[in-house]
Amino acid sequence: MIFREIKVGELVDFVNTVFYKNANIVPITPQRAISQANNPYAQPNDVALVLALNNKEEIIGFIGILPGKTMLTDERFFWNTCWWIDPEKGKIAAMPLFYSMLKITKSNLIFFDLTPHTASIVAKMGFMTNSITGTKVFLRFNLNQILPKKYAFLAILKPILKFFDSCLNTMFAKKSAKKELNYQVIKCLDASMEVFLSKFKPTMLTPFDNTFFTWVSNYSWLTTQPNEFETAIAKKYYFSYITQSFVVELLKITHQNELIGIFVVTCRDSEMKIPYCFFDDNATEKVLEAIFNYAYNKKITTITTFHPKIKEQLKLKKNTVLFTKQLVKHVGYPKQFETLGITNKLFQDGEGDAVFT
């Protein structure tokens, strides 16, 4: 077994190599490579991928690393972005890849949205683990998206399912919220928003500024119009890549001309998430109504959030939403981060690589 490291400065060239194009499995897509190459917190010599190869130089496993920045310390830290093992050929590579990542990052590493199994492994390696509960609410019926994902044979019936969705939404879906709550979709933080954000710095786990937003909004990890090469790559890639639509937008929310909230939202195939949001506790209901306005205007079918205040407020919206689903995600971090105050920080939904998909 051979291990090969791919550095941030090598990613774009790597996805154009003969090795990559002929690989049985690909560990990264061209979009992700370009995005990570533009990471403002990365250095060219940072390791972004570790590949495990067998004696035929086939990829039997890989693990991904994303350099980041934290408000806890000036020391460099990293996110784990992926950990894939070939179920037949790669079992022997699983833990060596993990140990390699720990060595490269000096264990200054945060895990976000772990599976329960991976969370148990991380805990055994000495990391602190925790679970965060979230809520997914359904605003409109979207059987044409849900059912074909569960039952592939139903894909041929999507036109009929869309018709049923349309009928059900005409009868049951709410159309609008309070008009006096306004939001603007803007390209970058203005001076008033930067001042507003300053009071939330004590609870920020990672910095949120124009440098960061420019990166995440311009370098998505998804493609909506795949060419022939990208379509072929998708068949050899085990994570999110091709989708029908995807946008990242920055919302400035005001009430009676007063700034009350800043939200980053992602909309993927009519499903909405809230990667980052900043607002005072006493404005929770108002900012949520503005988010509903945005969702209705965009014909959003679902909203997912793990933010504690938004989540609790959604529980009170039984007459506004059709259905509610409870969610759990697992996180892990070094024990020394507790002494640095990580338990006083808010894990936003977009931490790590979550905002990119």
Per-residue model confidence as pLDDT tens digits over 54-108? 999 999 999 999 999 999 999 999 999 999 999 999 999 999 999 999 999 999 9
Report the C-alpha gap between 277 and 283 in whole angstroms.
Answer: 12
- Tokens representing residue 241 in the block: 């890549």
- Percent of the chain residues past pLDDT 70, beyond the cut: 97
**Contact predicate 245/59, CB 8 Å:** no
Residues 189 and 292 placed together within one structural domain of the fold: yes
Residues 83 and 178 in one domain: no
Instruction: Label residue 181 by pLDDT band (50, 70, 90).
Output: low
Show the CA angle centred on residue 83, arms to residues 82 and 87, nearest 5°: 135
Q: Which domain holds residue 317?
A: 134-139+174-328
Residue matched to tokens 């939001």:
183
How buried is residue 228: exposed, middle or buried, by Cβ count under 10 Å (0-12/13-18/19+)?
exposed
Question: Same domain, yes or no, for 182 and 85?
Answer: no
The C-alpha atoms of residue 119 and residue 111 are separated, in whole angstroms, by 9
Is the pLDDT at 46 greater than 70, yes or no?
Answer: yes
Tally of domains within the chain: 2
* CA 198 to centroid of chain Cα atoms: 24
**Both 57 and 181 in a single domain?**
no
Helix, strand, coil shares of the chain, percent, nearest 5, are 40, 30, 35
Asked if 219 and 318 sit in the same domain, the reply is yes
Q: Does pLDDT of 146 surpass 90?
A: no
Residue 207 lies in a domain: yes
- Asked if 183 and 252 count as a contact pair (C-beta separation under 8 A), the reply is yes
Of residues 47 and 113, more confidence is placed in: 47
SS3 track for 287-356: HHHHHHHHHHHCCCCEEEECCHHHHHHHCCCCCCCCEEEEEEEEEEECCHHHHCCHHHCECCCCCCCHHH
In a domain, 337, yes or no: no
Residue 197 sits in the same domain as residue 95: no
Residues 6+ apart with CB under 8 A from 57: 2, 19
pLDDT in tens, 243-279: 999 999 999 999 988 999 999 999 999 999 999 999 9
* 86: in domain: yes
Question: Is 276 contained in some domain?
Answer: yes
Answer yes or no: is 202 within a domain.
yes
Statement: residue 290 has pLDDT above 80:
yes
Establish if 112 belongs to a structural domain: no
Q: Are 75 and 115 a contacting pair, CB within 8 Å?
A: no
What is the distance between the alpha carbons of residues 112 and 333, in angstroms, rounded to a whole number?
9
Residue 123 placed within a domain: no
In a domain, 91, yes or no: yes
Distance (Å, rounded) from C-alpha 32 to C-alpha 11? 9
* Residue owning tokens 């503005």: 290
CATH number of the domain that 8 lies in?
Answer: 3.40.630.30
Q: Are residues 224 and 323 in the same domain?
A: yes
Residue 5 identity: E
pLDDT for residue 179 is more than 70: no
Please report which confidence band the pLDDT of residue 315 belongs to, taking 50, 70 and 90 as the band edges: confident
